[in-house]
Structure 1
Amino acid sequence: MTSTTPPATPSVAERLRAEYGAALTLGADCDLPDDLVVEIDQGAHLTLGDRVLIRRGSTIQVHRGATVAIGDDVAIGEHAFISAMAGIHIGNGAALSNMVDLHDHNHRPRTRANVPTGQLVPWASGFDAAPIIIEPGAILSNKVTVTGGVRIGANALIGANAVVSHSIAPDTIATGVPASARRTFDGAPAPREDRRSLIVGFFGTSIMEHLEAVNAQMTTQANLPEVGSKVTVEAWTPRGWVHRLSLSLRAAFPHATLEVRNHGEGGATSRDIASTVEGDRATSGTDYDLVFLGCGINDVWRRFQNRMSEAVDLAEYTQHMHTMLGQLSGYTRKIVVVSETPFGPIDDPGTVAEMNAELSRYNEAAAKAAAAHDALFLDMWAPFTAAARHLAPANTDDGAAGLWSDGVHLTELGDTVLLQQTEKLLAEHRIVEKLLDYPFLERDAALAAYGPMFTRFRPANN
């Protein structure tokens, strides 16, 4: 009589490798439950790093063309659900507690355009998608939901039952629906992978450009020139409210990379700036996250200087504003139209009053154009005139500084008023925070746009 040994039951890892082949990259020493559900569609790829721990009842769906990349030493609790149509990356050492839900996609609304036949099935309208990035060391507590487009920073701790619909900075505790930062802490060392980058553009006049002459010795505290000595101008350097805003944003969002492109031009009218906008797109092809657009003061000033060939009347100015906003809207996520600041004591009071009356009409036209193109409008007129009523002109005997250096260009104090109002607008609308999210795109467009983010997690032939 002979005895037979029953064949060994294949491990979960062996079963998954046999089923999905090259569509699956599975690291060493993973602890996977018997009831783990994995679905990998055509052209999709799932990567699990070394020592990944997944508890019972969890599901990983990788839809057509998408990528899910789970790093080394990641722990995933019971009944977690991970579903990707664009891409999801969970960094090394991150943890998802029980019943965490990561979905990088949403149903599109059932509009006539999305469902022209009126077909009554849930997927008829299609899907929008945007990646989810969870950086190393982040911890998501029980029943946390993360929506598409969100980046959760390294070491972040998300409280139980939170819904994370906007990105969370590293070293941050966030809770609530929607989740928001409660406090920050001194985070443990953790790699910041693929820093989020934003491109911010400025199109306007010298009030945006604001160049100053510099010599390195003038700013080197240990080697300042003697009082009364002479130095040579070595270069021009940006100053003013745009420069200070860029520093402020970099300080407020150190975990992101902000690339500032200042296209301000001294003496430019709306006619010149419209040409700059068009030329920038034609030569650089830059897609902007945030653009500030402001012009009009030179359009008016040239007429009062009797430089009529350069002056731009209100009708032409309005046309230029609509043209620029129409162009910028095609490749900019958020646009802020900045009103012109009023003229200061540049001429006799009667002439200045007439110039400001005319300039206010241009600002009104800019506000209407902004509304027509779904752009924000930053009204600087009211705060500027309110401050001017209480401040002496520049270079007065008592040393008090006014808002204007020459009636048009701004002093540091004038720049500060503009800076504060801009920061207030950005904070009230949470503009930068929202721009740090990845924008939703139609499913196939999302795969094309975000696919390069996940190339390194896929074999070269997959």
Structure 2
Amino acid sequence: MTSISGDTGVAARLHAQHGPALTIGKECDLPDDLVIELAHGASLTIGDHVSIRRGTTIQVHHGATVSIGDYVAIGENTFLSAMAGIRLGEGCTLSNHVELHDHNHRERSAANVPSGQLRPWTSAFEVAPIVVEPGAILSNKVSVTAGVRIGANALVGASAVVSHSIPPETADADVPATVRRYVDGTALPVIEDRRALTVGFFGTSIMEHLEGYNAQLTDQANLPEVGSKVTVEGWHQRGWVHRLALGLRAGFPHVTFDIRNHGVGGATSRDVAEIVGRDRTADGVDYDLVFLGCGINDVWRGFQGRTAEAVGIEEYTSHINAMLAQLAGYSRRVVVISETPFGPVEAPETVREMNAELARYNETAAEAAAEQGALFLDVWSPFTAAAQQLASAPVGHETAGLWSDGVHLSELGDTLFLRQAEHFLAEHRTVEKLLDYPRLERDLALQTYGPMFAPYRPARA
């Protein structure tokens, strides 16, 4: 049996029980046995034309928020439990026996349970919001875990466990839920709080990769005549970083990427460490993903006879560890990138000596990354292998090299670097994991995610 919220039935009883902490819109279809549990400071908003079937429980803990948009349909025996916040977008559907929990028990480690008590909840909870965007459909017996965002018009198959965020307009299934195919959906709504990731790059000219720019050179309808002259209007950053940024935007079109390339030509680890420090002081930006790479100029300066600018291995070790420690404080994931080997910049025997020295710096970087919980991307090995294979090609075959001058990369070198970076991100599912909201201790989660749910809380609640 159901009751329309405009009547004096279910809605009146719930309003009398919960007061201004509960808002129910017009023409809602609510069951007599709907259970709503609102702790102190909690807020539940139910939009217009919402349908909820029998056996459903909505549990909102202290200070948390649950927002149910207009025209949402919730099936039988569904359970929603929020310690930070759950938001169901307009027109989404939750079928029968669906469960959404924005919190998990923390592990019973010594840090979480210093007293060692064997009692429920002594390890407390880790908490992160759940967002179901407009038009998404969750089939029977779907479970959604903390920190997940389900994209607009997505369809999640029966009995799936959604433990990571799902893109819009996809059909997803299995445990854990993964994309099976893309859905040719209706027009997507504008998502005002679109997911955004900030990606930073700190390194040398291998990252900076400046190219001269003139607008006419990129205007296919108005290219300059062959043999004519154009004026360099400025410098654009290109190379593998630019192409990786394009790949991220193409691969995750539902995400906004804020790309910040702080690569500087000629920089040693001493210079990059200063850049990292200045960036935090000047901008105070928190990064979702950071790529850090330096060392090639530390070595090269010594072989160039510029000893005052050269950076020895001990100083380099100090810089790389200091940067990793600093970046860890405001970056969710840091990837240390090995330097590429030197190409034919000097006589072969000198290049071999330079590369032997540079390999020591890469080993140090790998050790520092492991010690400080960062990932390490080795591009040295694939570059070495590719250079040897290109050098062994017979006459008449492809002769393009990996370097433009023995240090800076050619288009082929940039492409090889790009392939390694993209494969690395895919292998570790780095971006996919970053799209989940970080799970935090309960009180910190309420503080961190409170602004995200403030627009969905009644002013009087």
Q: TM-score, normalised by structure 1?
A: 0.96
Could you tell me whether the CA contact under 8 Å between 1:90 and 1:134 is conserved in 2?
Answer: yes
- Residue 117 (structure 1) aligns with: 115
Do residues 93 (structure 1) and 85 (structure 2) align? no
Q: Which amino acid aligns with 1:148?
A: A
Q: Which amino acid aligns with 2:438?
A: P
Could you tell me whether the CA contact under 8 Å between 1:392 and 1:401 is conserved in 2?
Answer: no
- RMSD (Å) for aligned C-alpha atoms: 1.4
Do residues 81 (structure 1) and 79 (structure 2) align? yes
- Residue 248 (structure 2) aligns with: 249
- Residue 373 (structure 1) aligns with: 372
State the Cα distance separating 1:375 from its structure 2 match: 1.0
Q: Determine the C-alpha separation between the residues in 2 that align with 1:350 and 1:145.
A: 61
More off after superposition, 94-103 vs 229-238: 229-238
Match of 1:145 among 143, 146, 153: 143
Give structure 2 stretches of 5+ with no counterpart.
1-6
Do residues 360 (structure 1) and 359 (structure 2) align? yes
Match of 2:63 among 65, 68, 76: 65
What are the within-5 Å matches in structure 2 for residues 45-444 of structure 1?
45-193=43-191, 194-391=193-390, 400-444=399-443
State the Cα distance separating 1:392 from its structure 2 match: 5.2
State the Cα distance separating 1:117 from its structure 2 match: 2.5
- Residue 36 (structure 2) aligns with: 38
State the Cα distance separating 1:323 from its structure 2 match: 0.5
Q: Determine the C-alpha separation between the residues in 2 that align with 1:358 and 1:397.
A: 34
Q: Which amino acid aligns with 2:227?
A: G
Q: Determine the C-alpha separation between the residues in 2 that align with 1:208 and 1:391.
A: 24
Q: Any idea what the Cα deviations from partners look like across 1:134-168, whole Å, max 9, x if unmatched?
A: 00110000000000100000110000000000001
Q: Determine the C-alpha separation between the residues in 2 that align with 1:399 and 1:164.
A: 47
Q: Determine the C-alpha separation between the residues in 2 that align with 1:413 and 1:230.
A: 27
Q: Any idea what the Cα deviations from partners look like across 1:394-451, whole Å, max 9, x if unmatched?
A: xx99883210000000001000000000111111111101111101011111111111
State the Cα distance separating 1:285 from its structure 2 match: 1.2
More off after superposition, 11-20 vs 140-149: 11-20
State the Cα distance separating 1:191 from its structure 2 match: 1.2
Could you tell me whether the CA contact under 8 Å between 2:401 and 2:412 is conserved in 1?
Answer: yes
Could you tell me whether the CA contact under 8 Å between 1:136 and 1:192 is conserved in 2?
Answer: no
Q: Determine the C-alpha separation between the residues in 1 that align with 2:369 and 2:99.
A: 38
Q: Determine the C-alpha separation between the residues in 2 that align with 1:243 and 1:392.
A: 28
Q: Any idea what the Cα deviations from partners look like across 1:80-100, whole Å, max 9, x if unmatched?
A: 000000100000110000000
Q: TM-score, normalised by structure 2?
A: 0.96
**How many residues of Structure 1 are paired with residues of Structure 2 in the alignment?**
452
Q: Any idea what the Cα deviations from partners look like across 1:4-63, whole Å, max 9, x if unmatched?
A: xxxxx9411001111111101110011110000000111110000001100000000010
Q: Any idea what the Cα deviations from partners look like across 1:294-315, whole Å, max 9, x if unmatched?
A: 0000000000011111100001
Could you tell me whether the CA contact under 8 Å between 1:154 and 1:192 is conserved in 2?
Answer: no
User: SS of the residue aligned with 2:31?
Assistant: coil
Q: Any idea what the Cα deviations from partners look like across 1:342-367, whole Å, max 9, x if unmatched?
A: 00000100110000000000000000
More off after superposition, 240-249 vs 102-111: 102-111
User: SS of the residue aligned with 2:332?
Assistant: strand
Report percent identity of matched pairs: 68
Q: Determine the C-alpha separation between the residues in 2 that align with 1:148 and 1:416.
A: 37
Q: Determine the C-alpha separation between the residues in 2 that align with 1:327 and 1:318.
A: 14
Q: Any idea what the Cα deviations from partners look like across 1:196-244, whole Å, max 9, x if unmatched?
A: 0000100000000101110101111111111111111101111100000
Q: Determine the C-alpha separation between the residues in 2 that align with 1:149 and 1:315.
A: 41
Q: Determine the C-alpha separation between the residues in 1 that align with 2:123 and 2:338.
A: 40
Q: Which amino acid aligns with 2:38?
A: I
- Residue 3 (structure 2) aligns with: none
Q: Determine the C-alpha separation between the residues in 2 that align with 1:398 and 1:17.
A: 79
Q: Which amino acid aligns with 1:295?
A: C
Q: Which amino acid aligns with 1:444?
A: D
User: SS of the residue aligned with 1:223?
Assistant: coil
Could you tell me whether the CA contact under 8 Å between 1:131 and 1:148 is conserved in 2?
Answer: yes
Could you tell me whether the CA contact under 8 Å between 1:115 and 1:124 is conserved in 2?
Answer: yes
Q: Determine the C-alpha separation between the residues in 1 that align with 2:238 and 2:125.
A: 45
Q: Determine the C-alpha separation between the residues in 2 that align with 1:400 and 1:309.
A: 37
Q: Which amino acid aligns with 2:111?
A: A
Q: Determine the C-alpha separation between the residues in 2 that align with 1:187 and 1:10.
A: 39
State the Cα distance separating 1:330 from its structure 2 match: 1.2
Q: Determine the C-alpha separation between the residues in 1 that align with 2:132 and 2:98.
A: 13
Q: Determine the C-alpha separation between the residues in 2 that align with 1:310 and 1:461.
A: 63
Could you tell me whether the CA contact under 8 Å between 1:92 and 1:137 is conserved in 2?
Answer: yes
Q: Determine the C-alpha separation between the residues in 1 that align with 2:400 and 2:151.
A: 43
Could you tell me whether the CA contact under 8 Å between 2:21 and 2:460 is conserved in 1?
Answer: no
Inter-CA distance 311–397: structure 2 relative to 1 (3 Å threshold):
farther
Q: Determine the C-alpha separation between the residues in 1 that align with 2:304 and 2:295.
A: 15
Q: Which amino acid aligns with 2:383?
A: F
- Residue 5 (structure 1) aligns with: none
Q: Which amino acid aligns with 2:376?
A: F
Q: Determine the C-alpha separation between the residues in 1 that align with 2:349 and 2:123.
A: 61
Runs of 4+ in 1 over 4 A off after TM superposition: 396-399
